[in-house]
Structure 1
């Protein structure tokens, strides 16, 4: 890219958010809204636009947004900084610390290679072995980029190389299939756990502050595990049918897993410490209703354990910019979203959305909003920005129409994961997988659309049955 085109792109990235914010700010205030509520919308919309256009890194954008909110008098200093006292921010930060332990100790790779050595004898076996590895790590690694892009993808690429399946003519051997199925596993595994994807705790926080619904770690898991696991089991079969890899039996991949495990040797002390902490955290999160300990408290205890045992080094954490960026991003976005709710905007927009789709009934409204929520993600470059902008108003509208609150909150949480499988830009791992060159963009979009739609239909069908059994409606 030339200097002139780069400069033009930067100018557009700066101009769009400012223009959106100023236009909304200056428009006549609708009936039923206070000036502060309307101005809060202007700041929030400009912030989301800046996250999409990226004139500055996300953390820097958030610092600008919080200052604008304070200096314009839209929020008080205490309100603008209240998000940093939210337990959700620190839960996700603690999960990043555990994620760092998985990577630095080598435990993540060990799990993946172990699964490969056990189930890698066929192309479907390879797919499921990598999917199970992703599943095992998902409650500990909220960064889907680190989990799928950093651990699963390099192993999948090595397998494609060993089996001689490069982009192009040989991609039909197994490369097309394995690349697509690994990309589509992560939205599913991320949906199962509150800590499975970075935006999940944000959805949980918005459910509590905007909808009055308290979603625990165990509650999310129980509600999401059945529909998500049905997708987990059936999605690879759909991809297998669509892409029909030429290699059906793959003993080389199984041998590769065994060789890699042999090179790793026995588990080292650091891996054992991380594994023990991970198990303790899962037990703690799963029994929080009995112990009375919140998910954040358990996460903080896990972080303290990892530091005290030196399973994770504080200096390594200081180098992990994603963890610190998350604290800033989540702290501010929760403050802004809470401001929208407290100032009455969510209630106002819910009433207006409800009037637009009036007459569809509770379940009809729920389904229509769910479908729109999924496919409008073509307009978003991050799942977190999408959740911050649309989760609360869409869920609140469905609930106002009579749909069961907990069912709506969990289902939209699941969809907040599935939606980014539509494109290569909608989530962190997308650019990594797409850049390998196995797919032209039109074909990539077509296959993704079929897979995401398949998962959405399964979630509605299986989920409605499961949530009925759970007594949500």
Structure 2
């Protein structure tokens, strides 16, 4: 889980958008606000729509921080009469905000104890005895770490020194070694795909969960997300490992100098500390309660513990004296800028929905696209999923793409007569597929900095993996999601 509102390195397109963003947003805002009210749209809906488009453009072009845009949007909703100000400010108390606060506290505890590093060294030493298994082992390591270190950047920081030690053991040199190139290329891809498999592994996925809950009335259990994603992610990882070894066949099959340095680093960690044990125990409890969400009433004699409440219970235990490893609030790294950004995003999204502006806009978009109610859900699924998957090449921020596309997809699905979960949930599944260019996310940039691969290498590998994933979502994924929906495992999926 990212510790701040995501601020990746900007590409040339994004730098240009920075320049034109503010004047464009103001022009569009004023034009919508003062134009004659269109037929089918209320005056309040028109005002909410003006605020929505201002926020949309500012979030997309980022001339000011995204959290500042959220604050501005909430104030403008109140000042223009686009929505009741109490409703706008109420978004700071949304359940999903509490869920994210608790999730960041849990992430802080796991990061502070260093349990992820211990797991990483052990797995790397076990798998590192052959080139092929070393490559596969670090892919698996990224998956394991995604459960216990819910931060893409923190996982990259843990795995990078281990990957460098393995590269050294195999005699790999930056810019020369095929093994080194593949080793470093696979890490950010595995990091991001592992994130995509686990709902709580990054904040934008939790935000998407919140939009589905607040705008569509669908609560996706933690285990449902994992089970739905696992086949696609696992198959993709296996294929990317095989294809990677075909494209960049390792020159050396076994380490040249052994793995003594890894063994030395493992020895330095010593035995498990009390803090590591308590953090692991509390996290295991949280995972158990999340994974058994659908069976709580049977396990706890009729008691159902909500998803967000489980996270807050975990956060409380981590701070509890003589129980948890966190000693004071300073130990918790909660990014309040992300909470403000999220609250504003929910305020704008719900405002245009409640005032009917979203439905009016969706009807216009559907009419312009030549679509109508009753369109084949698979066609809509394929087109909208493809847009969400590949748009990361242009717009890097997971957070901004979540805020823009997930509410839009929910509204479009409702207007087309398609259950929103059939469009918005798959879109949420690919939020973290930011794997094509160094500036797409921080892990990509971290591994790019090693010098083992260039931009063209990453673009080639990223597009290959994205296309594998897209084909799998269109085939295996669609069949799998429909099956899970038919047995009631994915709420609201009625395909």
Which TM bucket (shorter chain)?
A: 0.7 to 0.9
Change (3 A) 1:39 1:450: farther
Deviations 1:137-175 (A, max 9, x none): 324544322233x222332234334444343123x2x22
CA contact (8 A) 2:125 2:262 kept: yes
Question: Do structure 1's residue 411 and structure 2's residue 419 form an aligned pair?
Answer: no
State the shift of 1:22 in Å. Answer: 2.9
Change (3 A) 1:18 1:305: farther
CA distance in 2, matches of 1:258, 1:208: 47
Partner of 2:9: none
CA distance in 2, matches of 1:102, 1:456: 33
| Partner residue, 1:358 | 371
Q: Distance in 1 between matches of 2:437 and 2:457?
A: 11
Q: Which residue of 2 aligns with 1:387?
A: 402
Q: Distance in 1 between matches of 2:278 and 2:213?
A: 34
Following superposition, the deviation at residue 185 of structure 1 comes to 0.9
Structure 1 residues 26-37: aligned runs within 5 Å: 26-27=31-32, 28=35, 29-37=37-45
1:450 to 461, 464, 483: 464
Matches of 1:140 and 1:44, distance apart in 2:
37
Cα displacement string for residues 341-385 of structure 1 (whole angstroms, at most 9, x for unaligned residues): 222233233333433152762211211121122222333131110
User: In the TM superposition, what whole-angstrom CA distance separates every residue of 1:37-85 from its partner, at most 9, and x where no partner exists?
Assistant: 3443443343344345444444334333323333333233322222221
| Distance in 1 between residues matched to 2:478 and 2:21, nearest whole Å | 41
Contact 1:140 1:195 in 2 (8 A): no
1:98/1:140 contact within 8 Å kept: no
Aligned partners of 1:98 and 1:278 also within 8 Å:
yes
Cα distance between partner residues in 2 of 1:251 and 1:357: 62
Distance 1:77 1:403, change over 3 A: closer
Alpha-carbon separation, structure 1, partners of 2:89 and 2:243: 46
> Residue deviations 1:247-274, cap 9 Å, x none?
3333757544333211111111111111
Change (3 A) 1:334 1:215: same
**Residue 91 of structure 2 is aligned to residue 83 of structure 1:** yes
Q: Retained in 2: the 8 A contact 1:349–1:393?
A: no
Change in 2 beyond 3 A, CA 1:386/1:269: same
2:345 aligned with 1:333: yes
Q: 1:14 to 1:456 in 2, by over 3 A?
A: same
Look up the match of 1:16: 21
Task: Identify which range, 406-415 or 114-123, moves more after superposition.
Answer: 406-415
Higher mean Cα deviation, 284-293 or 434-443?
Answer: 434-443
Residue 305 of structure 1: how far off its partner (Å): 0.7
Matches within 5 A, 1:32-47: 32-47=40-55
- Residues 55, 166 of structure 1: alpha-carbon distance in 2 compared, 3 angstrom cutoff: farther
SS at structure 1 position matched to 2:129: coil
Partner of 2:476: 462
Question: Following superposition of structure 1 onto structure 2, how do residues 144-159 of structure 1 map, counting pairs within 5 Å?
Answer: 144-148=152-156, 150-159=157-166
Q: Is the 8 A contact 2:197 2:230 kept in 1?
A: yes
Q: Indicate the residue corresponding to 2:241 in structure 1.
A: 236
Q: How many residues in Structure 1 have an aligned counterpart in Structure 2?
A: 459
In 2, are the aligned partners of 1:176 and 1:439 still within 8 Å (CA)? Answer: yes
**Structure 2 counterpart SS, 1:444:** helix
* 8 A Cα contact 1:139 1:194, kept in partner: no
CA distance in 2 between counterparts of 1:399 and 1:82 reads: 25
- Structure 1 position 112, deviation (Å): 0.9
1:443-469: CA deviations, max 9, x gaps?
A: 422321111111121222221221232
2:269 to 264, 283, 290: 264
Distance 1:450 1:327, change over 3 A: same
Structure 1 range deviating more: 403-412 or 227-236: 403-412
CA 1:229–1:159: 2 relative to 1, 3 Å? same
Q: Please tell me the root mean square deviation across aligned C-alpha atoms, in Å.
A: 2.7
Query: Partners in 1 of 2:254 and 2:343 — Cα distance?
Result: 49
Instruction: Output the TM-score relative to the length of structure 1.
Output: 0.88
Q: Quick check: which one's helix share is greater?
A: 1
Relative to structure 1, the CA distance from residue 47 to residue 163 in structure 2 (aligned partners, 3 Å threshold; closer, same or farther) is farther
What are the within-5 Å matches in structure 2 for residues 244-393 of structure 1? 244-250=249-255, 254-291=259-296, 292-308=304-320, 309-317=323-331, 320=333, 323-355=335-367, 356-358=369-371, 361-393=376-408
Alignment of 1:50-65 (within 5 A): 50-65=58-73
Distance in 1 (alpha carbons) for counterparts of 2:291 and 2:261: 35
- Asked if the contact 2:130–2:253 (Cα under 8 Å) also holds between the matched residues in 1, the reply is yes
Which of 70, 73, 76 is equivalent to 2:78? Answer: 70
Contact 2:410 2:421 in 1 (8 A): no
The alignment status of 1:431 with 2:473, answered yes or no, reads no
Deviation larger for 332-341 or 391-400:
391-400
Where structure 2 has 5 or more consecutive residues not aligned to the other structure, the ranges are 1-13, 297-303, 487-492
Indicate if the aligned counterparts of 2:100 and 2:203 stay in contact, CA closer than 8 A.
Answer: yes
CA contact (8 A) 1:117 1:253 kept: no
- Which residue number corresponds to residue 5 of structure 1? none
> Does the residue aligned with 1:95 lie in a helix, a strand or coil?
helix
